[in-house]
């Protein structure tokens, strides 16, 4: 039986249906509010606004829970590969052996770029940011492939999803190679998804790079942990663009751009820059946190805080252990890991962070892993984008398959000039 919230407005009472999610989350359905009352709701930054109903990812920010299609992230991190996780997110179930093999084969077969695509790379100035190249090249890909997918046509969607997941990894490696002036390395059909990426990143024509199992495992884990995170800035952007009926590639290219900034995917770069600065200037965690707490500047402890998590981000827990394990196995002593651990310990006991419920997020330790693997700093957010691609595709599919889907079009409260006269130029 539907429950209702009652709203008193201008002497009248309105009943707004209460919707309940799978895990007991409650939402007030205001979709008819404006037509019934003339009012809109205002929620700058969408802090309390549910933009859709989704069956892909569940987060309980108070309990530090994250699940993809119902499966806890800790289990997927331990048992599933990135390719299997991608399939799970997009199609809603763990693949059977046949489904997995078919999907993996599609990824392998579509890993190379059209020869003409390679020419685009040459046109970007050296030192171009790989995020700019990546989003531009995914859009360029849509001019070669023209993805056309009818709602509910899962076979076609799967083909294009595999192409996009596979080729965005090739584009990422090629964007790095072209940014440093090295020849682009072709993918190999005998390598799996992660190893193939490492090969394209680090092989040179005169020397083949061979990934160790530890490195390949760590990168696989990184990608699994980044694969989806419900309605964040970039995923909402993908849905927004898709709602206007833009194609899959164009929508995901917009997602790449939305991910770029330091408050979102760019935070993994900012964390390492922050730790490097502390090291360079000899700042103790205490001195650095004093700077952060000084409200006369807008400095933040990067890799801390989250709109949804008000408790530990489960991904940060997993990545912290993974970073320690990887560095041990590679016999690397990275001073930044120790500094990050000390900084986190100090912040977690500091009233400023405790009161605001600020905890390490996914970006706090991920850069340590990427550094150990040898990924250059300006590629960190690109790595995030490769990982997030299945989540964006899953959200694109969910929206595209919904016959009742409307175009995303928020309202606003206008606070500008009232109706004004046009003034001739000589009188201004």
Q: CB of residue 357 vs ligand CMC: minimum separation in angstroms?
A: 8
Q: Which of 358, 370, 373, 382: binder of ligand CMC (CB under 6 A)?
A: 358
- Yes or no: say if 313 and 360 are a contact pair by the CB < 8 Å rule: yes
Candidate segments 192-200, 243-251, 262-270, 279-287, binder of ligand CMC by CB under 6 A: 262-270
Calpha distance 216→326 (Å, rounded):
10
- Name the active-site residue from 306, 313, 350, 400: 306
Q: Is 29 a catalytic residue?
A: no
Q: Report if residue 310 touches ligand CMC, rule: CB under 6 A.
A: no
Calpha distance 203→208 (Å, rounded):
5
- Count CA atoms within 13 Å of residue 47 on its CB side: 4
Q: Report if residue 304 touches ligand CMC, rule: CB under 6 A.
A: yes
Candidate segments 34-42, 196-204, 302-310, 410-418, binder of ligand CMC by CB under 6 A: 302-310
Q: Is 10 a catalytic residue?
A: no
Rg (CA), the chain: 23
Work out the end-to-end distance of the chain between its first and last CA atoms, rounded to an integer number of angstroms: 63
Q: Report if residue 361 touches ligand CMC, rule: CB under 6 A.
A: yes
Nearer to ligand CMC, 130 or 387 (CB): 387
Q: Are β-strands 12-20 and 26-28 bridged in parallel, bridged antiparallel, or unpaired? A: antiparallel
Work out the angle at residue 231's Cα, subtended by the Cα atoms of residues 227 and 233, and round it to the nearest 5 degrees.
Answer: 90
Q: Report if residue 255 touches ligand CMC, rule: CB under 6 A.
A: no
- Yes or no: say if 68 and 315 are a contact pair by the CB < 8 Å rule: no
**Chain-centroid distance, C-alpha 102:** 26
Q: Which of 130, 187, 255, 265: binder of ligand CMC (CB under 6 A)?
A: 265
Candidate segments 75-83, 147-155, 200-208, 263-271, binder of ligand CMC by CB under 6 A: 263-271
- Yes or no: say if 304 and 359 are a contact pair by the CB < 8 Å rule: yes
Calpha distance 391→224 (Å, rounded):
10
Residue nearest to ligand CMC according to CB distances in the complex: 305
Candidate segments 3-11, 33-41, 69-77, 296-304, binder of ligand CMC by CB under 6 A: 296-304
Burial label, 131 (beta-carbon count in 10 A; 0-12, 13-18, 19+): buried
Q: Report if residue 66 touches ligand CMC, rule: CB under 6 A.
A: no
Partners of residue 207 on adjacent β-strands: 204
How many chain residues interact with ligand CMC (CB under 6 A)? 19
Q: Report if residue 356 touches ligand CMC, rule: CB under 6 A.
A: yes
Q: CB of residue 259 vs ligand CMC: minimum separation in angstroms?
A: 7
Interface contacts to ligand CMC, rule CB under 6 A = 232, 263-265, 267, 292, 300-307, 356, 358, 361-363
């Amino acid at each position: 039986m539907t429950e209702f919230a009652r709203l008193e407005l201008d002497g009248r009472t309105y009943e707004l249906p209460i919707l309940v999610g799978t895990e007991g989350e409650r939402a007030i359905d205001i979709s008819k509010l404006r037509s019934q009352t003339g009012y809109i709701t205002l929620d700058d930054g969408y802090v309390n606004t549910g933009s859709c109903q989704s069956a892909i990812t569940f987060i309980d920010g108070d309990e530090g829970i994250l699940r993809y299609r119902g499966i806890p992230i800790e289990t997927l991190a331990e048992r599933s590969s990135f390719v299997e996780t991608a399939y799970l997110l997009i199609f809603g179930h763990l693949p059977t052996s046949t489904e997995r093999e078919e999907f993996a084969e599609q990824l392998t077969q579509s890993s190379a770029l059209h020869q003409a695509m390679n020419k685009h790379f040459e046109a970007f100035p050296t030192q171009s940011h790989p995020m700019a190249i990546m989003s531009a090249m995914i859009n360029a890909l849509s001019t070669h492939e023209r993805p056309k997918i009818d709602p509910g046509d899962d076979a076609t969607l799967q083909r294009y999803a595999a192409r996009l997941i596979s080729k965005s990894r090739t584009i990422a490696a090629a964007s790095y190679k072209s940014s440093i002036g090295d020849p682009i390395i072709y993918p190999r059909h005998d390598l799996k998804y992660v190893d193939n990426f490492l090969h394209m990143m680090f092989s040179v024509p005169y020397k083949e790079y061979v990934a160790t199992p530890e490195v390949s495992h760590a990168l696989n884990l990184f990608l699994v942990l980044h694969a989806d995170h419900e309605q964040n800035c970039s995923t909402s952007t993908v849905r927004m663009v898709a709602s206007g009926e833009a194609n899959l590639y164009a929508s995901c290219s917009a997602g790449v751009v939305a991910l770029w900034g330091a408050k979102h995917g760019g935070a993994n770069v900012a964390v390492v820059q922050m730790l490097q600065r502390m090291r360079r200037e000899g700042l103790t965690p205490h001195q650095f946190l004093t700077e952060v707490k000084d409200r006369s500047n807008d400095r933040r402890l990067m890799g801390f805080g989250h709109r949804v998590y008000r408790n530990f981000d489960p991904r940060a827990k997993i990545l912290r252990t993974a970073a320690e394990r990887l560095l041990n196995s590679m016999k690397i002593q990275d001073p930044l890991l120790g500094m990050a651990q000390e900084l986190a310990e100090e912040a977690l006991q500091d009233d400023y962070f405790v009161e605001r419920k600020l905890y390490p997020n996914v970006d706090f330790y991920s850069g340590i892993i990427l550094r150990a693997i040898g990924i250059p700093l300006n590629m960190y957010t690109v790595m995030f984008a490769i990982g997030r691609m299945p989540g964006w595709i899953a959200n694109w599919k969910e929206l595209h398959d919904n016959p009742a889907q409307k175009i995303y079009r928020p309202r606003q409260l206008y606070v500008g000039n009232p109706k004004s006269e046009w003034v001739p130029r000589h009188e201004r």
